[in-house]
Protein backbone atom coordinates (compact mmCIF):
# COMPACT_ATOMS: atom_id res chain seq x y z
CA UNK A 1 0.00 0.00 0.00
CA UNK A 2 1.33 3.46 -0.89
CA UNK A 3 1.87 6.02 1.86
CA UNK A 4 -0.93 8.17 0.44
CA UNK A 5 -3.40 5.29 0.58
CA UNK A 6 -2.26 4.25 4.06
CA UNK A 7 -2.53 7.80 5.38
CA UNK A 8 -5.95 8.36 3.79
CA UNK A 9 -7.27 5.15 5.30
CA UNK A 10 -5.90 6.07 8.73
CA UNK A 11 -7.14 9.65 8.72
CA UNK A 12 -10.59 8.54 7.59
CA UNK A 13 -10.69 6.18 10.56
CA UNK A 14 -9.31 8.88 12.90
CA UNK A 15 -12.00 11.42 11.99
CA UNK A 16 -14.75 8.82 11.92
CA UNK A 17 -13.90 7.86 15.50
CA UNK A 18 -13.13 4.25 14.61
CA UNK A 19 -9.37 4.43 15.15
CA UNK A 20 -8.88 2.82 18.56
CA UNK A 21 -6.43 4.17 21.16
CA UNK A 22 -4.32 1.06 20.53
CA UNK A 23 -4.42 1.73 16.79
CA UNK A 24 -3.34 5.34 17.28
CA UNK A 25 -0.52 4.27 19.61
CA UNK A 26 0.71 1.76 17.03
CA UNK A 27 0.56 4.37 14.26
CA UNK A 28 2.64 6.79 16.36
CA UNK A 29 5.15 4.10 17.29
CA UNK A 30 5.68 3.00 13.69
CA UNK A 31 5.83 6.53 12.35
CA UNK A 32 8.35 7.56 15.03
CA UNK A 33 10.71 4.75 14.05
CA UNK A 34 10.28 5.62 10.36
CA UNK A 35 11.05 9.31 10.95
CA UNK A 36 14.07 8.58 13.15
CA UNK A 37 15.50 6.33 10.44
CA UNK A 38 14.76 9.00 7.88
CA UNK A 39 16.47 11.89 9.67
CA UNK A 40 19.54 9.93 10.73
CA UNK A 41 20.01 8.75 7.16
CA UNK A 42 19.38 12.00 5.27
CA UNK A 43 19.87 14.97 7.64
CA UNK A 44 23.52 15.92 8.37
CA UNK A 45 22.41 17.68 11.55
CA UNK A 46 20.39 14.78 12.95
CA UNK A 47 23.07 12.28 11.97
CA UNK A 48 25.33 14.14 14.39
CA UNK A 49 22.65 15.17 16.88
CA UNK A 50 21.39 11.60 17.40
CA UNK A 51 24.68 9.76 16.99
CA UNK A 52 24.93 6.83 19.37
CA UNK A 53 21.14 6.49 19.70
CA UNK A 54 19.66 3.08 18.90
CA UNK A 55 16.60 4.40 17.09
CA UNK A 56 14.93 1.00 17.05
CA UNK A 57 14.68 1.20 20.84
CA UNK A 58 13.07 4.65 20.94
CA UNK A 59 9.32 4.66 21.57
CA UNK A 60 6.84 7.46 22.24
CA UNK A 61 7.21 6.62 25.94
CA UNK A 62 11.04 6.91 25.90
CA UNK A 63 11.24 9.77 23.39
CA UNK A 64 12.12 12.33 26.08
CA UNK A 65 15.51 10.68 26.51
CA UNK A 66 16.55 12.24 23.19
CA UNK A 67 18.02 15.76 23.06
CA UNK A 68 15.91 18.76 22.13
CA UNK A 69 16.01 20.53 18.80
CA UNK A 70 15.95 24.29 19.34
CA UNK A 71 15.42 27.39 17.23
CA UNK A 72 19.12 28.12 17.74
CA UNK A 73 19.90 24.73 16.14
CA UNK A 74 17.75 25.60 13.12
CA UNK A 75 19.45 28.98 12.67
CA UNK A 76 22.93 27.56 13.08
CA UNK A 77 22.50 24.46 10.93
CA UNK A 78 20.19 25.93 8.25
CA UNK A 79 20.05 23.51 5.28
CA UNK A 80 21.84 20.73 7.21
CA UNK A 81 18.61 20.18 9.18
CA UNK A 82 16.83 19.11 5.99
CA UNK A 83 16.36 15.41 5.26
CA UNK A 84 16.98 15.82 1.57
CA UNK A 85 17.73 18.45 -1.02
CA UNK A 86 15.52 21.45 -1.70
CA UNK A 87 15.22 19.98 -5.21
CA UNK A 88 13.24 17.14 -3.61
CA UNK A 89 10.67 19.62 -2.26
CA UNK A 90 7.48 20.71 -3.95
CA UNK A 91 7.77 24.30 -2.73
CA UNK A 92 10.22 26.39 -0.75
CA UNK A 93 9.32 28.60 2.21
CA UNK A 94 11.35 30.23 4.95
CA UNK A 95 10.60 31.82 8.30
CA UNK A 96 9.98 35.58 8.33
CA UNK A 97 13.33 36.39 9.94
CA UNK A 98 11.79 39.11 12.10
CA UNK A 99 13.30 37.74 15.32
CA UNK A 100 16.40 36.04 13.91
CA UNK A 101 17.89 34.66 10.72
CA UNK A 102 15.32 33.27 8.26
CA UNK A 103 15.54 29.48 8.20
CA UNK A 104 14.63 27.25 5.24
CA UNK A 105 11.28 25.45 5.48
CA UNK A 106 10.73 23.54 2.21
CA UNK A 107 7.77 21.16 1.97
CA UNK A 108 7.46 18.05 -0.11
CA UNK A 109 4.27 16.43 -1.44
CA UNK A 110 4.03 14.22 1.65
CA UNK A 111 4.33 17.21 4.01
CA UNK A 112 1.71 19.17 2.09
CA UNK A 113 -0.78 16.31 1.87
CA UNK A 114 -0.67 15.36 5.55
CA UNK A 115 -0.60 18.91 6.93
CA UNK A 116 -3.39 20.24 4.69
CA UNK A 117 -5.59 17.22 5.36
CA UNK A 118 -6.26 18.34 8.93
CA UNK A 119 -7.17 21.87 7.79
CA UNK A 120 -9.56 20.50 5.17
CA UNK A 121 -11.37 18.29 7.72
CA UNK A 122 -11.65 21.24 10.09
CA UNK A 123 -13.10 23.55 7.44
CA UNK A 124 -15.61 20.95 6.25
CA UNK A 125 -16.94 20.76 9.79
CA UNK A 126 -17.00 24.53 10.29
CA UNK A 127 -18.60 25.34 6.93
CA UNK A 128 -21.27 22.69 7.43
CA UNK A 129 -22.08 24.33 10.78
CA UNK A 130 -22.43 27.84 9.36
CA UNK A 131 -23.36 27.41 5.69
CA UNK A 132 -24.99 23.99 5.40
CA UNK A 133 -24.53 22.37 1.98
CA UNK A 134 -23.26 25.47 0.16
CA UNK A 135 -19.71 26.84 0.07
CA UNK A 136 -18.99 30.48 0.99
CA UNK A 137 -16.61 32.84 -0.79
CA UNK A 138 -13.40 32.95 1.27
CA UNK A 139 -11.13 36.00 1.54
CA UNK A 140 -7.50 35.21 2.31
CA UNK A 141 -5.74 38.03 4.16
CA UNK A 142 -2.18 36.85 4.64
CA UNK A 143 1.22 36.75 2.95
CA UNK A 144 2.06 34.36 0.13
CA UNK A 145 5.65 35.05 -0.96
CA UNK A 146 8.01 32.61 0.80
CA UNK A 147 5.19 31.89 3.25
CA UNK A 148 2.77 28.97 3.37
CA UNK A 149 -0.40 30.93 4.21
CA UNK A 150 -1.60 31.53 0.66
CA UNK A 151 -0.73 28.08 -0.67
CA UNK A 152 -2.26 26.15 2.23
CA UNK A 153 -5.62 27.90 2.14
CA UNK A 154 -5.72 28.01 -1.66
CA UNK A 155 -5.29 24.24 -1.71
CA UNK A 156 -7.90 23.70 1.00
CA UNK A 157 -10.53 25.92 -0.63
CA UNK A 158 -9.84 24.11 -3.90
CA UNK A 159 -10.39 20.72 -2.26
CA UNK A 160 -13.65 21.96 -0.77
CA UNK A 161 -14.85 23.46 -4.04
CA UNK A 162 -15.05 26.97 -2.54
CA UNK A 163 -14.12 30.22 -4.28
CA UNK A 164 -11.33 32.22 -2.69
CA UNK A 165 -9.88 35.67 -3.27
CA UNK A 166 -6.45 36.82 -2.08
CA UNK A 167 -7.02 40.27 -0.60
CA UNK A 168 -4.21 40.83 1.88
CA UNK A 169 -4.43 44.58 2.64
CA UNK A 170 -0.66 44.90 3.05
CA UNK A 171 -0.15 43.94 -0.60
CA UNK A 172 0.62 47.03 -2.72
CA UNK A 173 -1.84 45.68 -5.32
CA UNK A 174 -4.68 45.49 -2.80
CA UNK A 175 -4.81 47.78 0.24
CA UNK A 176 -7.81 48.18 2.53
CA UNK A 177 -9.96 50.22 0.14
CA UNK A 178 -9.87 47.56 -2.59
CA UNK A 179 -10.19 44.69 -0.07
CA UNK A 180 -13.39 46.20 1.34
CA UNK A 181 -14.82 46.83 -2.13
CA UNK A 182 -14.21 43.20 -3.12
CA UNK A 183 -15.68 41.87 0.13
CA UNK A 184 -18.89 43.70 -0.68
CA UNK A 185 -18.99 43.00 -4.44
CA UNK A 186 -18.07 39.31 -4.21
CA UNK A 187 -20.16 38.55 -1.14
CA UNK A 188 -17.15 37.37 0.88
CA UNK A 189 -18.53 35.68 4.00
CA UNK A 190 -15.33 34.18 5.44
CA UNK A 191 -12.09 36.05 6.14
CA UNK A 192 -8.92 34.15 7.07
CA UNK A 193 -6.47 36.43 8.86
CA UNK A 194 -4.52 37.26 12.02
CA UNK A 195 -6.69 38.39 14.96
CA UNK A 196 -5.35 41.96 14.92
CA UNK A 197 -6.49 42.32 11.31
CA UNK A 198 -10.13 41.88 12.40
CA UNK A 199 -9.80 45.21 14.22
CA UNK A 200 -7.80 46.94 11.49
CA UNK A 201 -10.42 45.92 8.92
CA UNK A 202 -13.15 47.44 11.10
CA UNK A 203 -11.20 50.69 11.40
CA UNK A 204 -10.65 50.76 7.64
CA UNK A 205 -14.35 50.11 6.98
CA UNK A 206 -15.27 53.16 9.05
CA UNK A 207 -12.57 55.23 7.36
CA UNK A 208 -13.86 54.36 3.87
CA UNK A 209 -17.51 54.82 4.73
CA UNK A 210 -18.70 51.20 5.08
CA UNK A 211 -21.12 50.16 7.80
CA UNK A 212 -20.34 46.80 9.37
CA UNK A 213 -23.89 45.59 8.74
CA UNK A 214 -23.69 46.24 4.99
CA UNK A 215 -20.75 43.87 4.53
CA UNK A 216 -21.55 40.15 4.21
CA UNK A 217 -18.95 38.85 6.69
CA UNK A 218 -20.15 35.95 8.83
CA UNK A 219 -16.98 34.16 9.91
CA UNK A 220 -13.45 35.24 10.81
CA UNK A 221 -11.02 32.30 10.83
CA UNK A 222 -7.98 33.55 12.72
CA UNK A 223 -4.44 32.26 13.18
CA UNK A 224 -0.94 33.42 13.92
CA UNK A 225 -1.26 34.79 17.46
CA UNK A 226 -3.15 34.31 20.72
CA UNK A 227 -6.88 34.87 20.44
CA UNK A 228 -8.63 34.84 23.80
CA UNK A 229 -12.40 34.38 24.23
CA UNK A 230 -12.49 38.00 25.40
CA UNK A 231 -10.86 39.17 22.19
CA UNK A 232 -13.27 37.12 20.08
CA UNK A 233 -16.30 38.52 21.91
CA UNK A 234 -15.01 42.04 21.34
CA UNK A 235 -14.56 41.44 17.60
CA UNK A 236 -18.10 40.09 17.33
CA UNK A 237 -19.37 43.30 18.96
CA UNK A 238 -17.71 45.33 16.21
CA UNK A 239 -18.80 42.98 13.42
CA UNK A 240 -22.42 42.10 14.39
CA UNK A 241 -23.42 38.78 12.92
CA UNK A 242 -19.81 37.61 12.50
CA UNK A 243 -18.26 34.86 14.62
CA UNK A 244 -14.53 34.54 15.33
CA UNK A 245 -12.95 31.07 15.34
CA UNK A 246 -9.31 30.06 15.79
CA UNK A 247 -8.71 28.00 12.65
CA UNK A 248 -5.09 26.89 12.80
CA UNK A 249 -2.14 26.79 15.13
CA UNK A 250 1.14 26.13 13.41
CA UNK A 251 4.35 27.60 12.09
CA UNK A 252 6.52 27.62 9.00
CA UNK A 253 8.88 25.05 10.48
CA UNK A 254 6.35 22.81 12.25
CA UNK A 255 3.47 23.06 9.73
CA UNK A 256 -0.16 22.63 10.90
CA UNK A 257 -0.11 21.56 14.53
CA UNK A 258 -3.79 21.97 15.45
CA UNK A 259 -7.04 22.96 13.76
CA UNK A 260 -10.25 24.61 14.91
CA UNK A 261 -13.64 23.11 15.72
CA UNK A 262 -17.07 24.82 15.85
CA UNK A 263 -16.66 24.90 19.64
CA UNK A 264 -13.87 27.46 19.23
CA UNK A 265 -11.30 24.93 20.46
CA UNK A 266 -8.14 23.83 18.66
CA UNK A 267 -7.48 20.10 18.36
CA UNK A 268 -4.00 18.59 18.08
CA UNK A 269 -3.24 16.63 14.88
CA UNK A 270 -2.16 13.41 16.58
CA UNK A 271 -1.46 11.52 13.36
CA UNK A 272 1.30 14.00 12.53
CA UNK A 273 2.82 14.83 15.93
CA UNK A 274 3.80 13.55 19.33
CA UNK A 275 3.41 16.42 21.78
CA UNK A 276 5.22 16.88 25.09
CA UNK A 277 5.10 19.66 27.67
CA UNK A 278 8.22 20.87 29.44
CA UNK A 279 9.03 23.54 31.98
CA UNK A 280 9.98 26.61 29.89
CA UNK A 281 12.78 27.54 32.31
CA UNK A 282 14.41 24.17 32.97
CA UNK A 283 13.28 22.01 30.06
CA UNK A 284 12.13 19.37 32.54
CA UNK A 285 9.38 17.10 31.21
CA UNK A 286 6.02 17.82 32.85
CA UNK A 287 3.73 15.46 30.91
CA UNK A 288 1.55 15.22 27.81
CA UNK A 289 -1.28 17.28 29.32
CA UNK A 290 -1.48 20.34 31.51
CA UNK A 291 0.45 23.56 30.92
CA UNK A 292 3.98 24.16 29.69
CA UNK A 293 6.18 24.81 26.70
CA UNK A 294 5.18 22.70 23.71
CA UNK A 295 7.75 20.24 22.36
CA UNK A 296 6.91 18.49 19.09
CA UNK A 297 8.16 15.43 17.30
CA UNK A 298 6.91 15.26 13.73
CA UNK A 299 5.73 11.86 12.46
CA UNK A 300 5.83 12.45 8.70
CA UNK A 301 9.08 11.58 6.93
CA UNK A 302 9.13 14.62 4.68
CA UNK A 303 11.75 17.22 3.86
CA UNK A 304 12.21 18.69 7.35
CA UNK A 305 10.83 16.56 10.17
CA UNK A 306 11.91 17.86 13.57
CA UNK A 307 12.62 15.72 16.63
CA UNK A 308 11.73 17.06 20.09
CA UNK A 309 11.49 20.59 18.75
CA UNK A 310 11.10 23.27 21.43
CA UNK A 311 8.52 25.61 19.94
CA UNK A 312 8.93 28.30 22.64
CA UNK A 313 5.12 28.41 22.76
CA UNK A 314 3.30 28.14 26.07
CA UNK A 315 0.20 25.99 25.71
CA UNK A 316 -2.40 24.16 27.74
CA UNK A 317 -3.37 20.64 26.60
CA UNK A 318 -6.55 18.96 27.83
CA UNK A 319 -8.37 15.74 27.07
CA UNK A 320 -10.81 15.86 24.18
CA UNK A 321 -14.40 16.42 25.39
CA UNK A 322 -16.81 13.57 24.63
CA UNK A 323 -19.03 15.83 22.50
CA UNK A 324 -16.18 17.39 20.47
CA UNK A 325 -16.68 17.51 16.70
CA UNK A 326 -12.99 16.91 15.95
CA UNK A 327 -10.65 14.22 17.27
CA UNK A 328 -7.50 14.88 19.26
CA UNK A 329 -6.70 16.62 22.55
CA UNK A 330 -7.67 20.27 22.92
CA UNK A 331 -4.71 22.66 22.80
CA UNK A 332 -4.92 26.28 23.93
CA UNK A 333 -2.13 28.67 22.99
CA UNK A 334 -1.44 31.07 25.84
CA UNK A 335 1.53 32.91 24.35
CA UNK A 336 5.22 32.79 23.61
CA UNK A 337 7.49 31.99 26.54
CA UNK A 338 9.45 35.16 25.75
CA UNK A 339 6.25 37.23 25.87
CA UNK A 340 5.47 36.63 29.53
CA UNK A 341 5.19 39.87 31.46
CA UNK A 342 6.67 40.40 34.92
CA UNK A 343 4.16 42.89 36.29
CA UNK A 344 3.62 43.95 39.87
CA UNK A 345 3.27 40.81 41.98
CA UNK A 346 2.66 38.43 39.06
CA UNK A 347 4.28 36.82 36.03
CA UNK A 348 1.46 37.04 33.50
CA UNK A 349 1.02 34.96 30.37
CA UNK A 350 0.05 37.03 27.31
CA UNK A 351 -3.44 35.50 27.30
CA UNK A 352 -3.91 36.41 30.98
CA UNK A 353 -3.07 40.05 30.35
CA UNK A 354 -5.30 40.28 27.28
CA UNK A 355 -8.17 38.68 29.20
CA UNK A 356 -7.74 41.17 32.04
CA UNK A 357 -7.87 44.10 29.62
CA UNK A 358 -10.72 42.92 27.38
CA UNK A 359 -13.06 40.99 29.72
CA UNK A 360 -16.50 42.47 29.15
CA UNK A 361 -15.12 45.22 26.88
CA UNK A 362 -17.01 45.79 23.63
CA UNK A 363 -16.37 48.07 20.67
CA UNK A 364 -12.60 48.13 21.20
CA UNK A 365 -10.66 48.76 17.97
CA UNK A 366 -7.30 48.30 19.67
CA UNK A 367 -5.39 48.46 22.94
CA UNK A 368 -1.89 49.00 24.25
CA UNK A 369 -0.52 48.42 27.76
CA UNK A 370 2.17 50.90 28.83
CA UNK A 371 4.29 49.92 31.84
CA UNK A 372 6.34 52.46 33.85
CA UNK A 373 7.84 52.71 37.32
CA UNK A 374 6.66 55.32 39.78
CA UNK A 375 8.91 57.40 42.04
CA UNK A 376 9.05 54.53 44.55
CA UNK A 377 10.10 51.99 41.96
CA UNK A 378 6.71 50.26 41.78
CA UNK A 379 5.11 49.21 38.51
CA UNK A 380 2.34 51.41 37.21
CA UNK A 381 0.24 50.76 34.13
CA UNK A 382 -1.58 52.85 31.57
CA UNK A 383 -4.01 51.01 29.31
CA UNK A 384 -4.72 52.87 26.10
CA UNK A 385 -8.00 51.98 24.37
CA UNK A 386 -9.51 52.91 21.02
CA UNK A 387 -13.25 52.59 21.71
CA UNK A 388 -16.38 53.01 19.64
CA UNK A 389 -18.63 54.92 22.06
CA UNK A 390 -21.86 53.70 20.45
CA UNK A 391 -20.84 50.10 21.26
CA UNK A 392 -18.56 50.28 24.30
CA UNK A 393 -21.08 51.82 26.71
CA UNK A 394 -20.24 53.79 29.85
CA UNK A 395 -16.50 54.63 29.67
CA UNK A 396 -16.32 55.08 33.43
CA UNK A 397 -17.50 51.52 33.97
CA UNK A 398 -15.09 50.22 31.32
CA UNK A 399 -12.16 51.96 32.99
CA UNK A 400 -13.16 50.77 36.45
CA UNK A 401 -13.46 47.16 35.29
CA UNK A 402 -10.01 47.06 33.70
CA UNK A 403 -8.39 48.76 36.68
CA UNK A 404 -10.04 46.33 39.07
CA UNK A 405 -8.96 43.25 37.11
CA UNK A 406 -5.33 44.38 36.82
CA UNK A 407 -5.25 45.22 40.52
CA UNK A 408 -6.65 41.78 41.34
CA UNK A 409 -4.31 39.82 39.02
CA UNK A 410 -1.06 41.75 39.43
CA UNK A 411 -1.52 44.14 42.35
CA UNK A 412 -0.81 47.20 40.17
CA UNK A 413 -2.46 50.57 39.83
CA UNK A 414 -3.79 51.13 36.32
CA UNK A 415 -4.84 54.31 34.58
CA UNK A 416 -7.10 53.76 31.55
CA UNK A 417 -7.25 56.30 28.72
CA UNK A 418 -9.47 56.37 25.65
CA UNK A 419 -7.64 57.62 22.57
CA UNK A 420 -8.79 58.11 18.98
CA UNK A 421 -5.45 56.97 17.52
CA UNK A 422 -3.16 54.39 19.10
CA UNK A 423 0.49 53.71 18.39
CA UNK A 424 0.57 52.11 14.87
CA UNK A 425 2.66 49.24 16.27
CA UNK A 426 -0.54 47.84 17.85
CA UNK A 427 -1.76 46.92 14.36
CA UNK A 428 1.20 44.60 13.70
CA UNK A 429 -0.23 41.84 15.90
CA UNK A 430 2.09 38.85 16.02
CA UNK A 431 3.74 39.56 12.65
CA UNK A 432 6.83 40.32 14.73
CA UNK A 433 5.73 39.71 18.33
CA UNK A 434 2.46 39.98 20.24
CA UNK A 435 4.37 41.57 23.09
CA UNK A 436 6.01 44.18 20.86
CA UNK A 437 2.60 45.05 19.42
CA UNK A 438 0.63 45.25 22.66
CA UNK A 439 3.12 46.10 25.42
CA UNK A 440 5.18 49.29 25.70
CA UNK A 441 7.53 48.47 28.57
CA UNK A 442 9.41 51.61 29.57
CA UNK A 443 11.20 49.80 32.39
CA UNK A 444 13.64 48.18 29.96
CA UNK A 445 15.73 49.25 26.97
CA UNK A 446 14.28 48.86 23.49
CA UNK A 447 15.41 45.53 22.01
CA UNK A 448 15.76 44.33 18.40
CA UNK A 449 12.29 42.76 18.35
CA UNK A 450 10.62 46.04 19.35
CA UNK A 451 12.73 47.93 16.81
CA UNK A 452 11.65 45.54 14.07
CA UNK A 453 7.98 45.88 15.02
CA UNK A 454 8.26 49.66 14.86
CA UNK A 455 10.00 49.52 11.49
CA UNK A 456 7.13 47.58 9.91
CA UNK A 457 4.34 49.37 11.82
CA UNK A 458 3.73 51.96 9.09
CA UNK A 459 2.60 49.19 6.74
CA UNK A 460 -0.21 48.25 9.12
CA UNK A 461 -1.28 51.74 10.16
CA UNK A 462 -5.00 52.41 9.72
CA UNK A 463 -6.44 55.80 10.58
CA UNK A 464 -10.04 56.48 11.55
Bridge-partner residues for 369, per DSSP?
A: 383, 439
* Residues 319 and 355 reside in one and the same domain: no
- pLDDT of 280 > 70? The answer is yes
Residues 287, 178 share a domain: yes
Would you state the pLDDT for residue 374?
A: 86
Per-residue model confidence as pLDDT tens digits over 235-275 = 999 999 899 999 999 999 999 999 999 999 999 999 999 99
What confidence score (pLDDT) does residue 132 get? 95
- pLDDT tens digits along 333-359: 988 888 888 988 889 888 899 999 999
Residue 304 inside a domain? The answer is yes
Question: Residue 151: what are its φ and ψ, rounded to 5°?
Answer: -70, -40
What pLDDT does residue 336 have? 85
pLDDT digits (tens, 9 = 90+) for 373-387: 988 888 899 999 999
- Domain total for the chain? 2
Mean pLDDT along residues 131-144:
94
Residue ending a domain, choose from 321, 336, 351: 336
Beta carbons of 293 and 277 less than 8 angstroms apart: yes
Q: pLDDT class for 464, splitting at 50, 70, 90?
A: very low
Q: Are residues 101 and 88 part of one domain? A: yes
CA-CA distance, 58 to 47, in Å (whole number)? 15
Task: Verify that 313 and 389 share a domain, yes or no.
Answer: no
List, for residues 155-181, the tens digit of each pLDDT value. Answer: 999 999 999 999 999 888 999 999 999
Here the CATH number for the domain that contains residue 249 is 3.40.50.12780
DSSP secondary structure letter of residue 167: -
Instruction: Dump the DSSP string for 387-417.
Output: E-HHHH--HHHHHHHHHHHHHHHH--EEEEE
The fraction of the chain above a pLDDT of 90, given in percent, is: 74
Residue 279 reports pLDDT greater than 80:
yes
Categorise residue 164: left if φ over 0, alpha if ψ from -120 to 50, beta otherwise.
beta
Residues 58 and 93 in one domain: yes
SS (H, E, C) 80-148: HHCCCCHHHCCECCECCCCCCCCCECCECHHHHHHHHHHHHHHHHHHHHHHHCCCCCEEEECCCCCCCC
Tens digits of residue pLDDT in 17-56: 999 999 999 999 999 999 999 999 999 999 999 998 999 9
Structural domain for 428, as ranges: 340-459
| Pair (270, 403) in one structural domain | no
Reduced to 3 states (helix: H, G, I; strand: E, B; else coil), residue 439 is strand
284 and 361 share one domain:
no
Amino acid sequence: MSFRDEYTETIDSYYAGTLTPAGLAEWQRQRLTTVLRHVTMFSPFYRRHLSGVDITEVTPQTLRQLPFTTKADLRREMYDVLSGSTADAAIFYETTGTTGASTPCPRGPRDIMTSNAAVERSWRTLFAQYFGDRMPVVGLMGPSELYAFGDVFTAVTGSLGACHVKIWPESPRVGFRKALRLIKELGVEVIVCAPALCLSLAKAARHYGYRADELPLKLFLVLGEICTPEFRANVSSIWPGAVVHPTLYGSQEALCIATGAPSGKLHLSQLNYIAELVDPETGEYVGSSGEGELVLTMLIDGIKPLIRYRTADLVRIEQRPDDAQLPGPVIEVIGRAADRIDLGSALLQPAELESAVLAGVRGCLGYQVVIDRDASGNDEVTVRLDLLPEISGDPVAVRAGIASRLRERAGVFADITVEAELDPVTNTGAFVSWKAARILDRRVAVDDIVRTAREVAHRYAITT
